[in-house]
Chain A
Amino acid sequence: EAGVTQFPSHSVIEKGQTVTLRCDPISGHDNLYWYRRVMGKEIKFLLHFVKESKQDESGMPNNRFLAERTGGTYSTLKVQPAELEDSGVYFCASSPGQGSNSPLHFGNGTRLTVT
């Protein structure tokens, strides 16, 4: 089966610009997660979709971040306007079930650099 794919793999933008990251989960996986790793820090949870609904968005840093999952398939994470502290690697993961035993499958991540 195809894995979780993320696009782009790298993005370099200037402060104040807008960037949209995309994640295609494994087909049939209802659960989709976004995580972020800022350099030198832990990977942090951003939010969790179940199908098209936001189950938990407690990790979203602020209202400059907007995540969507129209139709319950792929998801986008938009940062507008981007700030320097948004730089990091954004990971997407999907899983078939919602239980805590359900394994997560990760994409390769998008490395975002805001200059």
Chain B
Amino acid sequence: AQSVSQHNHHVILSEAASLELGCNYSYGGTVNLFWYVQYPGQHLQLLLKYFSGDPLVKGIKGFEAEFIKSKFSFNLRKPSVQWSDTAEYFCAVRGKGAGNNRKLIWGLGTSLAVNP
């Protein structure tokens, strides 16, 4: 079955703390991987993505994620969070190649609250 599992549903941090959000996926084939973020009152927006190449990808606002193929994982990290990082974070995968596989498979999301 195709699925994405996010390990943490609610995370509360203080500013300057480090962040790591876990994401594992199950998919019968090769995938592209994504992290999306939804800030309060805003639309979902792409934080970063992995298609191929260097498994360590950097996104906007100092976020990065590492694809570990052997573990089917794509964890999101940020060394030092800010209050403005308060948002909901979603891990998602999409199959590569042709066919009816354009849909994104999503994790449950992680709500991050950063205290000033």
Interface string of B20-60 (1 = CB under 8 A from A): 00000000000010001000011111100101000000000
Segment among B62-70, B73-81, B100-108 that sits at the interface with chain A: B100-108
The contact size tier of chain B is 20 to 34
A33-B103, A48-B103, A59-B103 are known; give 17 further A-B pairs, CB within 8 A. Answer: A31-B102, A35-B106, A42-B108, A44-B106, A45-B104, A48-B102, A55-B102, A100-B32, A100-B94, A100-B95, A100-B97, A101-B51, A106-B44, A106-B45, A108-B42, A109-B43, A109-B44
Q: Which residue of B lies closest to A56 (CB)?
A: B100
Q: List 15 A-B contacts (CB under 8 A).
A: A33-B103, A35-B106, A42-B108, A42-B109, A43-B90, A43-B104, A43-B106, A45-B104, A45-B105, A48-B100, A59-B103, A91-B44, A100-B102, A106-B43, A108-B41
Distance in Å: Cβ of B28 to nearest Cβ of chain A: 15
List the 10 shortest-distance A-B pairs measured between CB atoms, nearest first: A45-B103, A106-B44, A43-B106, A56-B100, A108-B43, A42-B106, A106-B43, A100-B96, A42-B108, A100-B94
CA of A103 to CA of B92, assembled, Å: 12
B97 neighbours in A (Cβ, 8 Å): 100
B112 near A: Cβ within 8 Å? no
A4 near B: Cβ within 8 Å? yes
